[in-house]
Amino acid sequence: MVIEYIAVGTELILGDISNTNSAFLGEQFSKIGLNCYYHINVGDNRVRIVESVALAAQRADIILLSGGIGPTADDLTIEAISDYTGLEMIKNEDGTQSIKGAILLNNEVGTSPGQIVEVDDKKIILLPGQPAELKSMFLNHVVDYLDKLTDSTIITRTVKLVGITKSELEERIAVLLTEYSNPSIAICTKIGEIHIHVTAKASDEKECERLIKPIIKELKTLVGEYIFTTEDDITLEQAVVDLLKANNLTVTTIESCTGGMVCSRLINVPGVSEVIRTGYITYSDKAKHRHLGVKRSTLSKYTAVSAQVCEEMAQALALLSKADVICSVTGMAGPDGGTEEIPVGTVFIGCNVKGKIKVNEYHFKGDRQAVREAATTEAINLMRLCILKYVSETTFGMKEK
């Protein structure tokens, strides 16, 4: 079955906001196994919305529109659907408007309900434009509806990886990519991460899971060292926080070029207060020396952007704080300051788990913000790897030198 997505809103056309719904829905459609060929952005114009729907109806079985379903004068999507279908608009008990005969979808996050209008052999789905409302409504109501349209059950499991490129991954799992069509295996590249969607189609949920299980197992065998979760709603920072909690470890961060981004991402995990109490930013050389005790001689001999300073930062903070895990970051984010030895994009990331320190050197591309974001993701991943190593060694009673 084919679905087409129409985002309604002049603010999208004028570039006031980026349409993040487009990426969310695109991923969801592919998970459900729907084919989607076009995403359309159209302004708050009744005639043009009708024209877009008419065109979509020629190309797709299901038309999903977002935006323009609220009560204000420039909300014209319901009017346009009434124009297109010839179905009357009615006022609901709570004062909201809908198309006569539509299935109403409860809005748990906002006020305007969503709607599904079934007309001839087409399904028209109307959702709010506000991303949190759309997401909640789609996941709570629309997924089930779309699943029922297909005879079969479709289930997707997401395997999330970090530290590997798309082309490397494709090479490593080539056998899986060519061999299987059900479950299908789709690779999605995210900023700093790669997600593999394993989608099975079968008569029931149990059969889907039976089909998916060996693929996940195979993926773990082929690229297990890069997988940080096989759960859909676990982020990289959540995976690290879970790991810290499970092993009764606390963490703190000492950041230079990332300037608080690593700590900030960890703190975006709800309930993180169990494992993180403080974070530090030492941006200048002076601060690295005075507040942290990084040696003046190390700074002058190796410069602040060096493995040596990164290591001293991770050592020093272990003494100052009582945290079990310390993550240190120092780098050259640019745009100025790069040299032949230390070009812009060079970042050193260290992780100290109870005295065992690992320092890696990275070279990131892009502007200042891109370098800092890439460094943040790698820092969180390095923590994950170092904690895993520590846990496996202590569990088996082994000690590396």
Q: Which of residues 246-265 bind a copy of itself (CB under 8 A)?
A: 253, 255, 257-264
Tell whether residue 236 is a contact of a copy of itself (CB under 8 A): no
User: What distance in Å separates the CA atoms of residue 13 and residue 208, rounded to the nearest whole number?
Assistant: 40
Residue partners of 128: CB distance under 8 A and separation at least 6: 66, 67, 69, 70, 107, 110, 112, 114, 134, 137
Residue 72 tokens read as 């204000």
Beta strand pairing call for 251-255 and 325-331: parallel
Residue type, 62: I
Tell whether residue 164 is a contact of a copy of itself (CB under 8 A): no
Tell whether residue 14 is a contact of a copy of itself (CB under 8 A): yes
**Of the candidates 113, 163, 334, 345, which one interacts with a copy of itself according to CB under 8 A?**
334
# chain residues binding a copy of itself, by CB under 8 A: 74
Q: For a copy of itself, give the closer residue by CB, 6 or 155.
A: 6
Q: Which window, 82-90, 309-317, 346-354, 368-376, contacts a copy of itself (CB under 8 A)?
A: 368-376
Q: For a copy of itself, give the closer residue by CB, 226 or 280.
A: 280
Least distance in Å: CB of 286 to a copy of itself?
6
Q: For a copy of itself, give the closer residue by CB, 210 or 286.
A: 286
Q: Which window, 10-18, 83-91, 99-107, 238-246, contacts a copy of itself (CB under 8 A)?
A: 10-18
User: What distance in Å separates the CA atoms of residue 367 and residue 375, rounded to the nearest whole number?
Assistant: 12
User: What distance in Å separates the CA atoms of residue 325 and residue 354, rounded to the nearest whole number?
Assistant: 6
Q: Which window, 40-48, 117-125, 294-302, 310-318, contacts a copy of itself (CB under 8 A)?
A: 40-48
Beta bridge partners of 103: 116
**Of the candidates 153, 184, 230, 278, which one interacts with a copy of itself according to CB under 8 A?**
278
Q: Which window, 100-108, 222-230, 363-371, 392-400, contacts a copy of itself (CB under 8 A)?
A: 363-371
DSSP summary character for residue 276: B
Residue where the block lists tokens 């202590």: 394
User: What distance in Å separates the CA atoms of residue 149 and residue 123, rounded to the nearest whole number?
Assistant: 10
Least distance in Å: CB of 90 to a copy of itself?
29
Q: Which window, 88-96, 154-162, 184-192, 382-390, contacts a copy of itself (CB under 8 A)?
A: 184-192
Please answer whether residues 87 and 100 qualify as being in contact, where contact means their C-beta atoms are separated by less than 8 angstroms: yes
Tell whether residue 192 is a contact of a copy of itself (CB under 8 A): no
Residue type, 201: K
Within residues 116-145, the interface with a copy of itself by CB under 8 A covers: 132
DSSP 331-344: E---SS---SSS-T
Please answer whether residues 114 and 127 qualify as being in contact, where contact means their C-beta atoms are separated by less than 8 angstroms: yes
**Of the candidates 208, 272, 347, 379, which one interacts with a copy of itself according to CB under 8 A?**
272
